[in-house]
Structures are given as C-alpha cells and as structure tokens.
Chain A
C-alpha cells in the first residue's frame, strides 16, 4: 500500500518534509517511525488524515501520516 509521510519542525532536519512510502499491510505508525529513524519519544503528535492517532494505529492505503515533535505557539 501507498502512504504519504509528512514530517514537521525539528523532525525534518536531516530527513524530509514529505515522502511517499510503499508499505506492507498492517504497518503501524510505530513501524514507520522505525523505518524513517525517528525516536518514539520525539513523535509527540501524530495525525492520520487530520485526526489524532497513536503509535499503534494501523495504516491503510492512501493515508496521510503527519508527525510532529512537541510544539506550541499562539
């Protein structure tokens, strides 16, 4: 299956801002972090298709996975 991974803020450094991945069925967010070399504790906020998700969420074909470190502003 194809999913798009988007990284933000400090997570972009030395990696990418967005990239397509070909993944096997039943891949979780945690698996993706492992593939792209992001430490679990640095992936503070996870969205799939605009909704908050967790490390254990299983991805589906066509998902957009967005990963943020802990950030704030206002």
Chain B
C-alpha cells in the first residue's frame, strides 16, 4: 500500500494519471493522510469547488489486512459545507479493496474544462479513466447496477448520485457494501460535491488477483488480532448491544436522558421514540425476513448493520442508522419506520448526507414548508433535491442555507454543518466537540456521549460544564488517531473500558509495520493530525469565535432539564491547549 494515485482531471487533452510513492507521507493512513495532503497541497483560501481543491480518498493503515474491523475509508478535501478541512468516513468494501490494490490514496486534482463526466476503473493490472456521459444524473443504485453489468460482481464502487453532480453542499460519496449496494456513505461536509466538481461519477475497484496485505511479523500480528477480536466480543457494547440492535439502540437511551433533539431541537424528549427504537427496528426486520445483524464490510466482527425489508418483504434499504432515524424521525416529529427507511433509501440513491438532510427538513418544517410529523411531505422534499428543482437545491445546500433562505433563526449548526442526534444543552460534553471540532458540528470527532450518557470510559455528568473540556479533548485526540488506522470507531467502546484491547490494537500496528509504538505515540499521532487541521482552518479564516454554538443554545433552555449550554467561551478556547 505504498502508492498514491493522482488523477489530474484538468490536464490539457483529458485527465492524466500519475502513480508515485508515498514519499513524505509515508507512515500515514486514513484521516492522517487525507488531512496531511489537503493541508499541504490545497490553498486554505481556495473555493472548495475550484480546481485548486483536491479530493483525497484513503484507506487506513490496517485496511486490506487480515485485521478485523479495518474497512473504514477516509474522504478528505476542503468542505463546501463548512469551508474547513474535512474528513468524512465510510464503511463498505472500497477501503479493503483499494488497500489490497496497493494504494494508500487516490487524489483527484484539477477540474475538466468541458462538462463531460468520467469513470475511473482500477484493477490489479492498471488504471483507466473513461468519459461516460451516459451516466449523467443516474442515482447511485442504478449506477452501481450499470457498473455491475459492465465490470462484473466482484467490484466495489465509490460514487456520487445526482446531488454530487449538482455540487450540493449536502452531497455524499457512496461506497458499496458486501452485497454491492451503495448503502455506506462518507456523508458529512459535502465531499460528494467536491467529487462532482471533479466530474468523476464513479471509481470502480476490482482486486481480483491481489492478496491480503502481509504483516512484517505474521505470527505476532495474528496473535494481536486474536486478542483484539476477543476484546471486542467480550465487551457488552461491541459483543451484544450493537450486533443485536445496531446503532439505533441509542434512540431510547438518548430520549430517556432528555437529550433527544425533537422538532428542530425544540425539546429533549420525543413521544414516538419507542416506535422507532432499535428494539422495534430489529424486531420488524426479522419479522419481514430482513437481517438485524450484518457487517458493512468483510472482516467486521461487530456487525451493527442490518437489512430492512418493506411491508411486502422486499429489500428497501440497509438498516437505517441511529443518526438517520433521529434526523428524519424524531427531529421531524416522524414516528414511522417505513417512512424513515424510505427516506434513507432516497438519501442513499440521490447521494445525500442523512444527518444534514434530516436537520434541513426539520428547519423547513419550522419554516412552514411542511408540518412536523408529515412523512409524505418529507419524502417529497427529498425528491425535490434529487430532481434539482430550485427548492431542492436550497434544501440540498443544508440546514444553515435553508434557515437563511426561509428566515429561520434556529439553525442547529456549527461552521455551517448541522448537529447530529444529541442536544448539546442536555449533553454538555458533546457541545464542546460540536463547537471546537475541526470539522464543524460532528459527533464522531469526540464522542462525549460515551462518558456523559453511556458510562463508558468513566462518567462525567452531562448536565454540568465540569470536566467536559478534558473529556472532549482526549476523545478528539484518540479519534483522530483511530481514524488513521482504518478501524471502525466503534472499537473505541471496548478500547475505553479495556486497556488490554487498546494494547492489542497497538500490537497489531507494531507487528504489521515493524514499529515500536506505545499508547503515547498514538496520542502524539492524534495531536499532530488535529494540529494540521487547525492550522488549515486558521489559514482559511477561522478564529476562536467560530468555535461556538449558535447563540440560542446559550439562551433558550431545553426541556425536560431546562438547561442551556454552560461551558464558558474561555474554556472552549482551551480544548487544543495540551
């Protein structure tokens, strides 16, 4: 995995391909590599949709190995949604396949001078890029079917739907799953719009003829991987809760904690929560012949995903994630799992971030475009986006733009990106992450819910500002490091509680690369990534005043706790002082 594939889309006479060694980027993977390339090579002041921006797609350090959980893909660029540096992370097959093909990263550079659309085909015997205007405006599912008919069913695809082609700021980059369906997405920050600006519709990957990446010390690697898997299976979250109920197991607990943003962040409890909970969803999936326990990539042992069938027992979509069920469900006052699953399918098909779109529709509902709870109206609004009507293009630009256009004060965003499924007033630690993350409002950047609500890695009172800075800081550092390994972030639940499982992961890295990393070196890696990202953002014009929540979170208490966000500005400014 020592090569970078650079595709210059702006070359005279059509796109050109260059393969080069990692060079100064050696030792980096995943988010560490995407953020290093973006911060070194992309002018921070550039327009995100300009030729100067680059889209960097990178598997992690352990992707493509026999290591469990190593199938996460990082997609980086300057974000058209936030204007900051961006790393959006996806599951699915492409990470493993790309790594086995020997690539540490694909970098899409420049911009075509014509309006032609391209596809990239990467096989063991070479890379091809072809013009294919017949793919224009194809939704992701239709596109993948087309690729399957042309290149066979041993492929994996990285693609954009119509939203990406229209360069909408809520557009995602889709990755195919183990069934070759485009259900896993690098969702956040409009990375799909940047791929659209490069006019690359799809990257088709085929690793036929390649082998699993070989560790420097195979015996040690095998032993470490075994301890790692045992640790994941032993922990109740990664060994029981996530496999049985998926991420949506959170609906009930976040609702019970009074932190479930409802009706566009107006209150912290949703009366319909139990109708859309993980428990209800798993039961419904099994009843209809779907699957409640399913991995998004080969090598996953947690298997938090599933397959959702409609009322007639036919495939509709993958198991909608907690964030999606919240965004399109409770946040819009919708308590109908079939409607939520339908919206999940269309978000995937058009290539849209489910979090941004759910938050946007809730803002649109507050603006009176539809009534809270009206599922059919919500589905129609998503179709407006897919069709690219003027209204659809406004909605597809995200919650902040939609709020501005319709004159709505309450846009739950930081740096232009919508908050996910936890109210920062009722969970103050996640508010610190939303405010200060290099990515805009993002729960995965420093998942304080673990200690604030779930009592994993200790317990910090969610309603008090005490201890939240340190909690968010440590989680943001650890997350940046984990996002570089290609490991699924859910391993952190076991790592936070079981030092021996954390050690097993470090042993895997050491055995694979012949290194002597310690827990401290992992921390240093995380810090160095955050530092690069912060520097990029500062040069792009971001100041400490941008590291704040929207004002109404400080002034309007939320029920049932009747609390506001209480972490002081001067404390937020200390998150990155280590």
Contacts and interface: CB of A to CB of B under 8 A. Distances in A.
Interface of A: 6, 8-10, 12, 17, 44-45, 47, 49-52, 66, 68-74
A71 B269 contact: no
A70 B449 contact: no
A65 to B, nearest CB: 10
Contact of B241 (A6, A12, A69): A69
B300 to A, nearest CB: 15
Nearest to B462: A52
Given A12-B279, A50-B269, A52-B461, A74 B256 contact: no
Interface of B: 235-238, 240-242, 244-250, 252-253, 256-258, 268-269, 274, 278-279, 304, 322-323, 443-444, 447, 449-450, 453-456, 459, 461-463, 489-490, 493, 560-561
A36 to B, nearest CB: 17
Given A52-B459, A74-B489, A74-B490, A17 B258 contact: no
Given A52-B459, A71-B249, A44 B257 contact: no
23 contacts: A8-B252, A8-B279, A9-B241, A10-B241, A44-B236, A44-B455, A50-B257, A50-B268, A50-B269, A68-B256, A69-B236, A69-B241, A71-B236, A71-B249, A71-B454, A72-B249, A72-B454, A73-B246, A73-B250, A73-B278, A74-B247, A74-B322, A74-B443
B274 A9 contact: no
A17 B283 CA distance: 13
A47 B453 CA distance: 10
Contacts of B490: 72, 74
B241 A72 contact: yes
B450 A72 contact: yes
B489 A70 contact: no
B184 to A, nearest CB: 15
A74 B444 contact: yes
Contacts of B444: 74
Contacts of A73: 241-242, 246-250, 278, 304, 322
A9 to B, nearest CB: 6
Of B237, B323, B490, most A-chain CB atoms within 10 Å: B237
A47 B244 contact: no
Given A9-B278, A50-B269, A52-B461, A71 B257 contact: no
A72 B489 contact: no
Given A50-B560, A73-B304, A68 B244 contact: no
Of B246, B248, B258, most A-chain CB atoms within 10 Å: B258
Given A10-B244, A45-B455, A50-B561, A74 B449 contact: yes
Contacts of A8: 252-253, 256, 279
